[in-house]
């Protein structure tokens, strides 16, 4: 008889600062039941990723922020342009749905934090040249880390949501396409930890947050759907789902 699983009250970190798996989520996962759905979300900072995942997890927009499955950024954090999500957080619902919240793509706040940390290390090493080298390496490693996180989500998720607060940022699309190429390459995780299936289809959903009424005009929806088809023409990501505003009219 399978042991009863705990009920999560809020999301927990799946990956540590050193990009290792944490064991916090182990009490909420079953080793025998494989009937589950994994949904991940990516996007720029402040695009509503954590809020959208909380709604999927069962929260209501009237709930207090502290009761959300994924804690959204506070007003103070938004005003200071400070990031909220770090690495990847996970929440397991009662219906065996696993939700993964990824840190922001190309976040200036995350990069600033990493540069501040590297500056301290550079000062300890001595010299301005050492500090400049640390900053350059940190900026590059931060970009690579972001690509690895997205590549990991593309490997383990059934559906990946790209949350944007306006139609599309070509730099974000390029970031996703680059991460898609990396998902077939073993990264920090061993084959025993993650089984790679490079040809597996992943549902890729673009969620336009803070959309205005003109964004729902049939002509605009169809034109944007065509743009997305061109951008992901040779992609393994499935952007032509059965439910889409692009199929209306």
Q: Tell whether 3 is covered by a domain.
A: no
Average pLDDT, the chain: 81
Counted domains in the chain: 1
Find out whether 73 and 84 touch, Cβ atoms under 8 Å. Answer: yes
pLDDT by residue (tens digit) across 91-113? 999 888 999 999 988 877 777 77
Single out the residue of 204, 221, 203 nearest to residue 212, CA to CA. 221
Q: Tell whether 20 is covered by a domain.
A: yes
State the residue range of the domain holding 169: 12-107+153-247
Q: Tell whether 2 is covered by a domain.
A: no
Looking at residue 139, its pLDDT comes to: 65
* Whole-structure pTM value: 0.82
Q: Tell whether 101 is covered by a domain.
A: yes
Looking at residue 132, its pLDDT comes to: 61
Looking at residue 231, its pLDDT comes to: 92
**Bridge partner list, 223:** none
Single out the residue of 201, 203, 225, 204 nearest to residue 162, CA to CA. 204
Domain of residue 163, CATH code: 3.40.50
Q: Tell whether 137 is covered by a domain.
A: no
Question: Which pairs from 197-200 meet CB under 8 Å and 24+ separation?
Answer: 197/155, 198/236, 199/236, 200/236
Q: Tell whether 206 is covered by a domain.
A: yes
pLDDT band at residue 49 under the 50/70/90 scheme: very high
């Amino acid at each position: 008889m399978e042991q009863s699983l705990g009920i999560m009250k809020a999301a927990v970190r799946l990956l540590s600062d050193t990009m290792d798996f944490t064991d916090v989520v182990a009490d909420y996962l079953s080793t025998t039941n494989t009937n589950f759905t994994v949904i991940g979300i990516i996007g720029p900072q402040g695009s509503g990723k954590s809020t959208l995942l909380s709604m999927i997890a069962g929260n209501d927009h009237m709930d207090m922020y502290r009761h959300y499955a994924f804690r959204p950024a506070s007003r103070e954090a938004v005003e200071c342009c400070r990031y909220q999500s770090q690495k990847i957080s996970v929440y397991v619902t009662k219906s065996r749905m696993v939700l993964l919240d990824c840190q922001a793509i190309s976040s200036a706040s995350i990069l600033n934090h990493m540069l501040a940390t590297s500056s301290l290390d550079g000062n300890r090493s001595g010299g301005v040249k050492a500090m400049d080298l640390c900053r350059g390496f940190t900026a590059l490693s931060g970009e690579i880390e972001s690509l690895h996180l997205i590549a990991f989500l593309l490997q383990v998720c059934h559906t990946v949501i790209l949350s944007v607060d306006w139609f599309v940022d070509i730099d974000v699309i390029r970031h996703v396409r680059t991460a898609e190429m990396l998902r077939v390459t073993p990264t920090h995780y061993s084959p025993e930890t993650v089984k790679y299936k490079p040809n597996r289809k992943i549902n890729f959903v673009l969620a336009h947050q803070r959309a205005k009424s003109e964004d729902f005009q049939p002509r605009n929806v169809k034109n944007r759907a065509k743009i997305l088809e061109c951008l992901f023409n040779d992609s393994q990501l499935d952007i032509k789902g059965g439910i889409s505003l692009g199929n209306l009219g």
